[in-house]
Amino acid sequence: MSPGTRGRGGEAAASRRRGYLSLGSNLGDRRAHLQAAVDRLPAHGVTVLRSSHTYDTEPVGLILDQPEFLNACVEIETGLEPERLLTALKEVERELGRTAAERHAPRVIDLDILLLGDLTHESARLRVPHPELADRRFVLVPLLELDPDASLPRGERLAGSLAALGGGQQVRVAGEPLDV
């Protein structure tokens, strides 16, 4: 286990845990890219249990002049520790054609770890829970579809975070859940 990895109360992480990933694409056949990522995750030690609907979302961040994203969240189960899970997600992104690009630039696929049970983890390359989770409507809407009672490890309910965002980014249901 990584030194920065602890469950609630500081105990060692469990051998398998459930969590949530965010998936996004704004290039090419966006839904096909999301589905391909879901289909490849099991080969990398990640079982996909459920998917939210897909959502059309406006770009956020530093580059706003780009195509809309298609986003979804999936509930997963894995025995991978956070750093290895991140490596697995980056491998899936590369397999699907993602290349290193400017932060927030258009991309074929983007996979992010949102939550891993009540685990907290911090390293130079990864923070779990995702540090921007509570501020991203395009993540909160599909995550709360899967788990309306979702909360951060310290107990903050994410439904409250979504309500606190007020107006802003448009998030619209685009299609059915991805096949798992």
Residue type, 106: P
pTM: 0.88
Q: What phi and psi values does residue 87 have, to the nearest 5 degrees?
A: -60, -40
Residue 11 counted as domain residue = yes
* Domain range enclosing 133: 5-174
pLDDT by residue for the chain (180 residues), tens digit each? Answer: 444 444 433 334 448 999 999 999 999 999 999 999 999 999 999 999 999 999 999 877 666 677 899 999 999 999 999 999 999 999 999 999 887 666 667 889 999 999 999 999 999 999 999 999 999 999 999 999 999 999 999 999 999 999 999 777 789 999 999 999
Residue 100 counted as domain residue = yes
- Residue 161 maps to which CATH number? 3.30.70.560
Residue 148 counted as domain residue = yes
Residue 180 counted as domain residue = no
Q: What phi and psi values does residue 8 have, to the nearest 5 degrees?
A: -55, 135
State how many domains the chain has. 1
Residue 179 counted as domain residue = no
* Cα angle value 158/177/85 (rounded, 5°): 65
Residue 155 counted as domain residue = yes
Contact 79, 45 (CB under 8 A): yes
Q: Which residues of 138-173 are buried (b: 16+ CB within 10 A; e: fewer)?
A: bbbbbbbbbbeebbbbeeeebbebbeeeeeeeebee
